[in-house]
Structure formats: C-alpha cells, structure tokens
Amino acid sequence: MASLSHPLKPHFLSTPKPKLQTSKFPTKVRMSFQESGPSVAVVGVTGAVGQEFLSVLSDRGFPYRSLKLLASKRSAGKSVSFQDRNFTVQELTADSFDDVDIALFSAGGSISKEFGPIAIEKGAIVVDNSSAFRMVDGVPLVIPEVNPEAMDGIKVGMNKGALIANPNCSTIICLMAATPLHRHSKVTRMVVSTYQAASGAGAAAMHELELQTREVLEGKPPTCNIFNQQYAFNLFSHNAPVLENGYNEEEMKMVKETRKIWNDMNVKVTATCIRVPVMRAHAESVNLQFEKPLDEETAREILKNAPGVVVIDDRASNHFPTPLEVSNKDDVAVGRIRRDVSQEGNHGLDIFVCGDQVRKGAALNAVQIAELLL
C-alpha cells in the first residue's frame, strides 16, 4: 500500500538544517469557541499531558461549545487561562460528565478505570491516554495517521458513549515511521531500542532531572523521589515493573500494541526501553526486517511523503534527528536510514526516530483522535 501524501509537510534531506513545522493533520478543523461544537472535558488538566492537551487544542483551533477542566480535589479551584478566557478547575466526580461529548483523559490508569465507564454511561466519547484499556478487545487503539479505520462509526452525535485508547508514547513514535514502510513491504520482525526522556514520567520527573543536575554539579547527593537512582548524567533500564519473562511493562506494551494497531498477531517485535537524561522527546533505534525487498532510497522517499513525518538524514554533515529538534513539535523525525548489512539483499533497514513524547506521543495524538470524531 502506498504511503499517504502530505502536501503541507516540509521534507528535509540536506543543509540548511531543518525547522520542524506544526503538522496540519487533519486540515479541516480550524475553529475554536463555537456554539455548534462539542462539549469537551479534560481530565487531569493540571498534569504535564493535561496542560499539553490545552496547548494542542488551542494550537489546532479545536471547536468547542463548552470546556470543563477536571482534576483532583487538591487542584480544584485553581484558575487556568485558555484562549484569553479564565477557567476554574473543577473536582472530578461522577457528576462531571453530564452533557459532555468528548472527554480527554490523562490522569492515570486507576482514574480512567473508575471514571471512564461513568463518562461513557453518560454518553461521552472517552479518549483515554492511560494503559487501562489499550489491550481490551473491542476498544480501538488508534494512531490517526496509521489506523483511523479502527474507530469507524464512532462520532459525536451518535447519542451513545464510546471508548478509544491512545497508544503508549513509544509505540506511537515508532509506528509513525515504521508503518509507511510496513505498508510497502510488510514488516516481519522489528527490534526497537528506546532512549526515553523524563517527560514520559511526568512533570515531577522533569523537575527531578533538573534538580538532580544542579545537585550533582554542586557536589551534592541527588534527590531521588521519582526514580530510585541517580538520573542526571546517567541512564538506566526503564522504570516500569519487570515481568516474569524478563521484559518490563514498557517493552511489552510496544510488542502487544504494535500487533493490535497493525492487526497482525504474527509480526515479531522485541524492545529494550531505556531512560536517558533528556528533558523532553523520546528517541528510538528501529531495526526492520521485511517480507519484500525495500532499498534505502525507496524507504527515504516513502518517509518523505508520510503524514506527520519529516526526514532529517544529512550524512554529509552528520546531521540526524535529535530530541532537542523535535521538542514541542508535532512531527516525528526520521533519519539514519540505511540498509541492514547483517541481512541479505534489501530485506532489512535501520532507522532512527525522534518524537515529542508529550505532544505526538500523548496529547496531540489524542486531540487528532477527537478531531476524527467531529
């Protein structure tokens, strides 16, 4: 299957150094406050992803007739500015979803499990950013550029609630680049090594990395509240619990979610997930093995035309994607596109991918899902 074209997206192959642009996918939503728009609730609005929800909603001009900002009792009463209006954060309760059309959840799995079904029962379409429902049969797990058909038939105005799951951030960033190649030549095996930023563990982890960096430079012992070991000037295996098979939960999310999103239970996936002392945006080394040959020049052209992807692959100046370049950007950047010399012919490729975990890895993907509901 050919990759979808994206005429508004710039392509980068050589100098001058690229400036990533905000994606325009989809292009039809360009409004804000609107009487005929949906009623929107943001659950977990005071967290890192919750704040990013508001930023993305504003950047993309998402239409709404009303907006509820919901959080814990501790945060209730706080004032939040959004599009030149002040909103008061409300305590999340069972009554919060009366007359809500779309509820964007990012308050953790336990909150999603408790309040998601309540919101759905009251007729809201829940877009959930936690892992609570991703692998539940019948719950669409969606990356809009990859598998929008998974949510066919779910629309605002259908007079009943529904649930759509947002994939794990690492899975989203990986599959944004791997899927266009998979459509062309079918991936049979994928090996992923991740280099995951503090943003993946939330605002508190980002603060702790900054604090530890100062402490270490000043010769003080580092404060380790979020992680049980020094994060500054260090890297370590992802802090998710390690399972009986030796993989941690983050790694198995990539395995299981890839199979569900691609609707292919036979694709072989293995992952090693690592925390690195980067503030924001994840990086991933991805090795792909294909059923049909795919040379690196064809792969590069496919990726140049993939929606939500930019190619940064300048070998002459040794310039490839970095977390800093994609931080606060919508597009996922891909580079280091090269034939896997350990495989015969053109049946293997290595690529390096960087994407903003808080935006495309979380908030942007959820808002794009919400746009498809309109």
- Tell me the C-alpha distance between 120 and 336, whole Å: 44
Contact 272, 251 (CB under 8 A): yes
Rounded-to-10 torsion of CA 326, 331, 333, 337: 180
Half-sphere exposure of 131 (CA within 13 A, CB side): 13
Q: Hey, which residues does 288 pair with through a beta bridge?
A: 190, 349
Cα–Cα separations (whole angstroms), residue 174 to 143, 180, 290, 352: 11, 11, 16, 9
Catalytic entry in 6, 182, 238, 282: 282
- Tell me the C-alpha distance between 289 and 349, whole Å: 7
Is 319 labeled as catalytic in the residue annotation?
no
How far apart, in Å, do the first and last CA atoms of the chain sit?
Answer: 27
3-state secondary structure of 48: helix
Is 207 labeled as catalytic in the residue annotation?
no
Catalytic entry in 6, 169, 182, 319: 169
Contact 282, 200 (CB under 8 A): yes
Contact 199, 300 (CB under 8 A): no
Q: Name the DSSP letter for residue 327.
A: T
Q: Hey, which residues does 242 pair with through a beta bridge?
A: 248
Tally of CB atoms within 10 A around 304:
21
3-state secondary structure of 323: helix
Q: Is the peptide bond before 222 cis (omega within 30 degrees of 0)?
A: no
**Which residues carry out catalysis?**
169, 282
